[in-house]
Chains A and B, each alone.
Chain A
């Protein structure tokens, strides 16, 4: 065992403190979702309900098209993530293995898309989507975000670690470009693909801004946008809002639990051979 030193103690205190900061709002949300309407403000920082009730969940399921929203979110995030992976793989393959004019400036451009906050290009993107008449459609939500700088960057870095000889061996073995991509790159990049896929899936599942801007009809909304719907003119209905939020977290948690192994694998691999 490692000796306990002040440095290790400090690290532990920092970790515990940051865990508390992350966990408290989460527990608060869960606790409110199981509380009765009247007991929400019994105490500041209600970490455990004072009066248990499933009224919030009942209201979510009976008074809103919750399953429809859930399906909307599932549809948008899986299609978008798949698209991001496909385009990411193809772009990363080209950036890592093909020599072409303007390759470096183009890759820099891809990196730039990661550095600019999405809000900064919200308006121009909206105008383009509007030009194609895609407002209030899933096309409008999905297409502008198909090319994803993060996916391209991570996959390119991974592909660069694949020995070039494997690529050449496959050329001599008569593989065409897509066969080489499959046999040499994709099959060794599965941890990276899963990791990028899961991170993007969670991001896309939680996307709020863009869906809020594009989608109008109540039936078409995705969960993050829809959850805000429990607010009427006068006040926010905290219990059903938190119940809906708690429900929307479940798939994300499941994804993390399933994908944990791959996250660790791909991150430990990215540094060493």
Chain B
């Protein structure tokens, strides 16, 4: 158990900068998820914490100790790799025992710890098998077992579920979540899957191009994204972005373009005018679930109506994705209702304007 601090950590491969100015404090027992598209530097950051990658600049602390020059084995961390990285010639037991043997643990202690871990992970019947005799899920559990027998201060997981099929991934995701509660240890978890990030993380670090875009709880990241990247990356289907100009009319502040006109809620409109965006282009971000087919009677004043021609409907059973175009922008709406729309049909949607985000098109930062 330990807190981990990264202070202005940088990683450069020659001229290419993989991670830039990464600073954050990870609290003891916290479950942190690094999420971002591939090549965003999340795995590199994790590998720097593990000590598998040298850092070009900055400092990493594990439990107040600067570990910049500490070898991976002396950092008291355990890592689970995407491809499991189990030693193919050893049984599951031997795989789990190697680190303890290297630390000169007594045989009884090694056995005790492995029994403990295999009970937690349901590996008891598999201890004598070699990795090639295990299924993907079992291998992943063995790899996690190898990590937990060491009782490390910090668990590092590098996309541990991406080699599993969809169903097993959901199951293992839940297992990792409960494992964290049970072990009460700091977890740092890397994934490109925003759903994993949202469900597992106590705090999420969204990264892009080697830079932290936002750090926050899943709710914060989802409902208050700091910029267009975070807004677009988190959430599935992704947030819709529409560009329009801000205009003052007698009845209030409007966002309009050739293909739509939306009256902004008073407070938001005033805020944007105050910030000097009147007659300027701004981007509004609308999550697919903010489109309603039925008018929300409780709050009619803040709902704006748009009429569109449906391109395509994907019926998911419990919900439907309705695709249509606003101007040139492809837009998707998520409706809870079972809808029987046809392509080409004109449908009226209501948008909950209180939940709409506004961004500066140049800086891409949120402005209201």
Contact = CB atoms under 8 A, between A and B. Distances in A.
Interface residues of B, number: 23
A188 interface: yes
A163 to B, nearest CB: 6
Given A165-B83, A168-B81, A173 B88 contact: no
Interface stretch (A27-35, A149-157, A179-187): A179-187
B73 interface: yes
Interface string B119-152: 0000000000000000000000000001000000
A94 interface: no
B102 A174 contact: yes
A169 B79 contact: yes
Nearest to A175: B102
A172 B72 contact: yes
A164 to B, nearest CB: 9
B62 to A, nearest CB: 13
A188 B89 contact: yes
A126 B50 CA distance: 51
A187 B90 CA distance: 10
Contacts of B83: 163, 165
Given A166-B87, A188-B88, A173 B102 contact: yes
A265 interface: no
A171 interface: yes
A171 B51 CA distance: 9
Interface residues of B: mostly helix, strand, loop or mixed?
loop
Given A183-B87, A188-B89, A171 B72 contact: yes
A184 B86 CA distance: 10
Interface residues of A: mostly helix, strand, loop or mixed?
helix
Contacts of B99: 172-174
A169 to B, nearest CB: 4
Interface string A113-156: 00000000000000000000000000000000000000000000
Q: Which one of B71, B85, B88 has the greatest number of beta carbons of chain A within 10 Å? A: B85
A172 B98 contact: no
Given A171-B73, A173-B73, A166 B85 contact: yes
A172 B89 contact: no
B255 to A, nearest CB: 50
A165 B88 CA distance: 12
Interface string A183-195: 1100110000000
Interface in B277-324: none
Interface in B96-113: 98-99, 102-103
Given A163-B83, A165-B83, A183-B98, A172 B73 contact: yes
Given A165-B81, A169-B79, A174 B73 contact: yes
Contacts of A171: 51-52, 71-73
A170 to B, nearest CB: 8
B212 interface: no
A188 B85 CA distance: 13
Contacts of B81: 165, 168-169
B117 interface: no
A187 B89 contact: yes
Contacts of A175: 73, 98, 102
Q: Which one of A168, A173, A187 has the greatest number of beta carbons of chain B within 10 Å? A: A173
Interface in A239-260: none
B87 A172 contact: no
A165 B87 CA distance: 10
A188 B89 CA distance: 7
A163 B163 CA distance: 15
A5 B98 CA distance: 56
A44 B217 CA distance: 92
B85 A174 contact: no
A172 B103 contact: no
A222 B98 CA distance: 46
B114 interface: no
A169 B78 CA distance: 9
A165 B52 CA distance: 10
Contacts of A187: 87-89
Nearest to A168: B52
A99 B278 CA distance: 57
A171 B102 CA distance: 11
Nearest to A165: B85
A172 B50 contact: yes
Contacts of A188: 88-89
5 contacts: A165-B83, A168-B72, A169-B86, A173-B98, A175-B102
Interface of B: 50-52, 71-73, 77-79, 81-83, 85-90, 98-99, 102-103, 146
Given A169-B87, A183-B98, A188-B89, 13 more contacts: A165-B82, A165-B83, A170-B98, A171-B52, A171-B71, A172-B52, A172-B72, A174-B102, A183-B87, A183-B89, A183-B90, A184-B87, A188-B88
Q: Across chains A and B, which 6 residue pairs bring their CB atoms closest together, nearest first? A: A174-B102, A165-B85, A174-B73, A173-B99, A169-B85, A187-B89
